[in-house]
């Protein structure tokens, strides 16, 4: 392997490390790994698929790091992993049918939508909040939560970048307020969505394997190490970090595509 190739692999490793760390703390880490892979010369669709499989192990480290928060979350919220599997498969199959040119045009809008949704989640949650805990866990609430999770799963299977932000937004809208529990569930849901999407991507030969092993190692390190950082930073700081990451990367995508 030449020095240039080693440099590209090292860049992919670092991109995955920071992406997994940001995913663990606030979500939106793929917004780092995806553009790095594009900068390294991969077509956007291949970069998206390679990023998904490369940082997927980071969700394992993040789940372990947030195991206490995950254990204390409500069981009904953990069952939402099922629509994540279904949505992830549907989104990945949709990506197979999308050209790189079309994908490039819609990426900035997808990221911006996710960022805005997270920023205004508090107002939306207040509007949707029911008057009692019983109503909050009604059949209508459960149906809405399942459909919302399914929609985010489709988004995540189609485009990994920004999925964690959308997951956090969705959890806030359905009534959660503990950002650390939300991060724990987001790690679990991301593991499900990306896990089934990876199967589709590999079958479709959309993955650039030379970067995958290096990225997997970086993702494991970053995913586990950042869970402790999230607890130290606190809820408000982590929430603000999500918003900053989302809008900053959205602006970068718009400038790169339309500037």
Average pLDDT over residues 193-220: 91
For the segment 115-130, what is each residue's pLDDT rounded down to a tens digit?
A: 787 777 667 656 655 4
Q: Is the pLDDT of residue 27 over 90?
A: no
Domain count of the fold of the chain: 1
Query: Which pLDDT score, from 0 to 100, does residue 196 have?
Result: 95
Range(s) of the domain holding residue 130: 3-258
Q: Tell me how far apart the alpha carbons of residues 39 and 218 are, in angstroms, rounded to a whole number.
A: 18
The span from the CA of 243 to the CA of 172, in Å, is 14
What does the alpha-carbon distance between residue 90 and residue 196 come to, in Å, rounded to a whole number? 9
pLDDT in tens, 65-90: 888 999 998 888 999 999 999 999 99
pLDDT for res 65: 81
**Per-residue pLDDT for 216 more than 60?**
yes
Q: So what's the pLDDT on residue 134?
A: 43
Is the pLDDT higher at 248 or at 154? 154
pLDDT band at 133 (very low <50, low <70, confident <90, very high): very low
Those residues whose C-beta lies under 8 Å from the C-beta of residue 38, and which sit 6 or more positions away, are: 44, 47
pLDDT of residue 197: 94
């Amino acid at each position: 392997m030449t020095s240039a190739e080693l440099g590209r692999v090292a860049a992919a490793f670092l991109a995955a490390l920071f992406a997994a760390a940001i995913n663990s703390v606030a979500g939106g880490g793929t917004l780092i790994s995806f553009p790095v892979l594009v900068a390294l010369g991969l077509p956007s669709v291949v970069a998206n698929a390679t990023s998904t499989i490369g940082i997927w192990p980071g969700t394992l480290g993040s789940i372990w790091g947030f195991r206490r928060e995950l254990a204390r979350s409500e069981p009904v919220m953990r069952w939402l992993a099922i629509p994540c599997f279904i949505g992830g498969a549907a989104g990945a199959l949709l990506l197979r049918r999308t050209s790189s040119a079309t994908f490039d045009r819609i990426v900035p809008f997808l990221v911006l939508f996710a960022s805005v949704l997270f920023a205004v989640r508090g107002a939306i949650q207040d509007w949707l909040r029911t008057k009692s805990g019983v109503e909050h866990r009604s059949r209508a609430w459960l149906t809405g939560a399942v459909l919302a999770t399914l929609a985010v799963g489709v988004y995540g299977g189609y485009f990994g970048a920004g999925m964690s932000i959308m997951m956090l937004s969705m959890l806030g809208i359905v009534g959660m307020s503990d950002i650390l529990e939300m991060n724990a569930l987001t790690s679990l849901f991301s593991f499900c969505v990306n896990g089934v999407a990876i199967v589709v991507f590999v079958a479709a030969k959309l993955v650039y394997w030379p970067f995958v092993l290096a990225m997997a190692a970086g993702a494991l390190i970053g995913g586990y190490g950042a869970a402790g950082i999230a607890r130290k930073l606190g809820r408000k700081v982590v929430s603000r970090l999500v918003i900053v990451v989302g809008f900053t990367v959205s602006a970068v995508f718009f400038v790169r595509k339309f500037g």
